[in-house]
Amino acid sequence: MSQNRNFYKKFTYAIGKEEDGKCVKEILRKKLHLSRGEISHAKGEEDGILLNAKRVTVAHPVQEGDVVEVHLHERKEEEGKILPAKGELSLVYEDEDFVCLNKPAGMVSHPSHGHFLDSLANYLAGHFEEEGEHHKIRVVGRLDKETSGLILFAKSQICARRLFEQAQDGSRKKEYLALCAGFFAEKEGIVTAKIRKVPEEKLLREVHPEGRSACTHYLVEEQKEGYALVRLILETGRTHQIRIHMAQIGHPLLGDTLYYPSYQGQMKRAALHAALITMPHPFSGKPLRFEAPLPEDMKELL
């Protein structure tokens, strides 16, 4: 492998009797589950697509006993510009492809104005540096600064693309827990109000008939006096979706100064926590389940 290559992924498939006579492309798509983009990328590599250790076109037929290999590379110049920094990380899972972290409330996911060295991404870059690894930091589904819980970072564009596709096809599911104001007459329900950015506002979103479609499922886990612990599952991922939808039905999140400005309780941030992710591994397909317990500021109110 040449010196300027950084990330490398190999896929192998042994041809059985049922695949005899099919073309290489069909094996790549249906057996190795490679995307069109990944196949196109592999075509440009000298060792990208091999049949019995020899380079072939994707139209080449295969026979029982053949071995198909695909080699995907990423170039070193794709490494990111995020500066490494030392900081505490709550590592839930890590392998050669991606990382799952438990983000504390009050920390931004990615560098932004005023947070160039104290984001979760900076601390992850520092972790990679300590481990002697070199990866561009690719966050998969950011969490708001106030939101705590599970967040994924891919170690390659190849993996990031697969994780994005999982979100699109619904194979990767994420569940949130929130503390919502009021008494719930209905213990479960669906909110489908459309959401748009408020004109001339930087952060604020609103329900509007001309907004983008949005769908939130909710299930009351525990009803307390004046508020409830609610589990939420999103079908869409609009900015502030949970916060807006729960406020829309009269149950805003405790501590949410944007959508519940009259709140005067002890919660110092929007009480929202990304608690659970279930997904197949982006390459092996192995079922994975990641959980993050409720943080203390939410647990104290239960």
Point out the residues that are catalytic: 144
**Measured CA angle at 267 (ends 265, 271), to 5 deg:** 125
Rounded Cα distance between 287 and 280, Å, is: 4
- Give the count of beta carbons closer than 10 Å to the beta carbon of residue 37: 11
CB contact burial 71-94 (16+ within 10 A = b; e otherwise): bbbbeeeeeeebebbeeebeebeb
- Looking at the DSSP bridge assignments, the partners of residue 68 are 13, 51
Dihedral angle over CA of 9, 10, 11, 14, nearest 10: -170
3-state secondary structure of 138: strand
Strands (E), the chain: 5-14, 49-51, 54-55, 67-75, 91-94, 98-103, 138-140, 148-154, 173-181, 188-191, 195-197, 205-207, 216-223, 227-234, 272-280, 287-291
**Burial degree of 190 (CB within 10 A; 0-12, 13-18, 19+):** exposed
3-state secondary structure of 94: strand
Rounded Cα distance between 34 and 48, Å, is: 12
- Which among 163, 113, 115, 156 is positioned nearest to 137, based on CA atoms? 156
- Which among 215, 227, 94 is positioned nearest to 159, based on CA atoms? 94
